[in-house]
Structures are given as C-alpha cells and as structure tokens.
Structure 1
Amino acid sequence: MREGNSPRVECEVHVEADPDRVWELVTDIELPARFSPELQRVRWLDGADRLGLGARFEGHNCNQALGQWRTVSQVVELEAPRAFAWAVLDPDGRYGNGATDPQAPMATWRFDLTPAAGGTRLRHAARLGPARSGLDLAIEDIPDKEDAIIEHRLADLRAAMQETLHGIKALAEQSR
C-alpha cells in the first residue's frame, strides 16, 4: 500500500436494545465467526477465558483470493459498555514481517456503542495497516491496480461487517 496509507472501513446499525446487552454480544469473541464469511473460528490464548485489556486470541480465516491464514489479536481498548478494539498481528510471518507489535498491527478492528433513541448505535470499524498484510501482497503482484485492489478488499470487509452487525442486531433484539 502507499506509504502512510491506512485504509478504513466502517458500518453502523441501530439496535433496539440497551448498550449493556449489545456489549455482551460484541465482546463475545467467538460470535463474529457465526456471521462472517471470512472468519472461521476464534479461541482465547494464554489460558485466558474472558475479555481483558491485553488479552490475546487466535483467529482462523479463509478467503477465496487470500487462502487460509491464522492471526493473533490483542485487546488494545476496552471501555465497557462503550468501546472494544483489538490489534491483529501476524505471528507466523505470512506477510513478510511477522507483525507482533500491537502498536503496529496488520489491522485494528473495533466496536463502538453509543446510547441512541432508546437503543444503541453500534459501529464496527477496521483500519488496515500499518504492518504488511495480504493486501500488500496483492498490490505487489499488480501495482498498477492498487486503487482497485484496495476498493475491492474494503468492499469485501464492508459486506462481512454488515452481516456481523445485522447478526448482532437480531440476537440483541430477539432477547428483548
């Protein structure tokens, strides 16, 4: 990717449930795998079995263009019931640099919750970079198509994020 360029994507939905209920769902690290076409499974690492700042979890992903890969994520922000963010790392060095520093991850993902209109405005966002990822490999293969490659990846992520948000919304509203 162009140096200093960290593409972002975000989606939001209004959930007819209070922030505490929505928080229970977004902080269940296994839940997104139920809705995401890319994230296949997730598990806590280091003997952790619950959420905490600095806690780590492993994710397994599959994508037709990128194949299968493993990431390790570290919780970098946790403010109940408002913000949950995690940095995605590349401990296996799949993308060339073995990004293991949560301050310079392959990506940072987050959920933000805001009380709104008797429910919760739920925003899901991702920022790619600054460390290398599969996006960098694709751009290196076809550098003259960089903009199109980035737009395609962001569109895939946006679609997956919307599926996750709608799944969380349905679960939260079902339990009312």
Structure 2
Amino acid sequence: MNLHGPLTREVSNRIEAPPERVWALVSDVTRIGEFSPETFEAAWTRGSTGPEEGASFKGHVRRNGVGPTYWSPCQVTRCVPNEVFEFAVGTDDITLNNWGYRLEADGTGTKVTEYFRIEPRLLMRLYWTVLGPLRGRTNERGMRTTLERMKAVLER
C-alpha cells in the first residue's frame, strides 16, 4: 500500500494477464458486482454505453457490505485504454471522492493499482478526520478483495 497524502489510499496486485485483458475488466463497470464487496451492481446512464471520458454510470452500493444501500452517480474522469480508468463519485456539482485503476505492464502480466482519493473539501476533510482511519481500512480491505477476485477471473 502506498499513501500519497492523507486523503488517498491505494492497493496493488500483479495479475498474470496482459494490460488489454485487465483493462477490459476494470473499465467494464457493469461487472463490478462480481468483484467489489460493497458495489454489487452498476449501469451506464445518461446515454453512456462504455468507458470514455465524460461517460456516466451509477453504482449500487451496500455500505460496509451490510447497508445502508444506495445508488451513487459517477462520471469517468480519466480513460486511457490499457493504462488508467478513473471516475468521480458525486453529483454534477459536487465530487465527493474519486476511484480508479492504474495498469502497468509487468513482464507477461500487469501490475494493477486500485486507488481512491477523497476530495479536499471542508466537509470531506472533517469526515475523513473523524472516520478516515476506520473507513480507510475498510476501503483498503475492499480494494484488496476486489483485485484478488479480478485476479482469480483473469488467471483462469
């Protein structure tokens, strides 16, 4: 795990699959329910049909795997095939946090890094000051689980 500031966390895993195959999986938001312990489904919205900058989707989240359950609107903010897929979570006016995947070719496989970055707004900084240590550990466990599940599918 690397920390790039107090509002960011990341987890990496090496997957024995080329970046193109890993990219196809991490950028297909409709498959996240197979891997994430919290987001059990997602769908493209607002006419979006696939990964590209500006594309919209919504994720159906069961917080901490038990609830509450809610839909989170998301928008793709970085989309470089076989390299990075990142999206903002929030409304059209306010981004709460950002999630993403970075891919790096690694011999015959790919180093995959999943990360999140809390927006440094006052409300989010206060939230992170109070709940950050607990939520950060939960998110790190979730990212490890997600990457392990993706690895199992891609290395089959």
In the superposition, the TM-score normalised over structure 1's length comes to 0.76
Question: What is the CA-CA distance between 1:30 and the residue it aligns to?
Answer: 2.1
Is the 1:6–1:127 Cα contact (8 Å) retained in structure 2?
no
Superposition pairs of residues 89-128 of structure 1, within 5 angstroms: 89=90, 91=91, 100-101=92-93, 105-128=95-118
Distance 1:126 1:32, change over 3 A: same
Say whether residues 1:153 and 2:153 are aligned partners.
no
Superposition pairs of residues 128-143 of structure 1, within 5 angstroms: 128-131=118-121, 132=123, 136=127
Superposition pairs of residues 39-50 of structure 1, within 5 angstroms: 39-50=39-50
Question: What is the CA-CA distance between 1:35 and the residue it aligns to?
Answer: 2.2
Q: Which has the larger radius of gyration?
A: 1
**C-alpha distance in 2 between matches for 1:66 and 1:31:** 20
Superposition pairs of residues 7-46 of structure 1, within 5 angstroms: 7-46=7-46
Question: What is the CA-CA distance between 1:161 and the residue it aligns to?
Answer: 0.7
Is the 2:13–2:113 Cα contact (8 Å) retained in structure 1?
yes
Question: What is the CA-CA distance between 1:40 and the residue it aligns to?
Answer: 2.2
Determine the structure 1 residue equivalent to 2:68.
67
In the superposition, the TM-score normalised over structure 2's length comes to 0.86
What SS class does the counterpart of residue 31 from structure 1 fall into?
helix
Structure 2: give runs of 5+ residues left out of the alignment.
Answer: none
Q: Which runs of 4+ in 1 moved over 4 A?
A: none
**C-alpha distance in 2 between matches for 1:23 and 1:115:** 11
Which residue type is aligned with residue 79 of structure 1? V
Determine the structure 1 residue equivalent to 2:147.
165
Q: How many pairs were matched up? A: 149
What SS class does the counterpart of residue 50 from structure 2 fall into?
coil
Say whether residues 1:77 and 2:78 are aligned partners.
yes
Is the 2:35–2:149 Cα contact (8 Å) retained in structure 1?
yes
What SS class does the counterpart of residue 42 from structure 1 fall into?
strand
Question: What is the CA-CA distance between 1:13 and the residue it aligns to?
Answer: 0.4
Is the 1:8–1:126 Cα contact (8 Å) retained in structure 2?
yes
**C-alpha distance in 1 between matches for 2:155 and 2:111:** 13
What SS class does the counterpart of residue 52 from structure 1 fall into?
coil
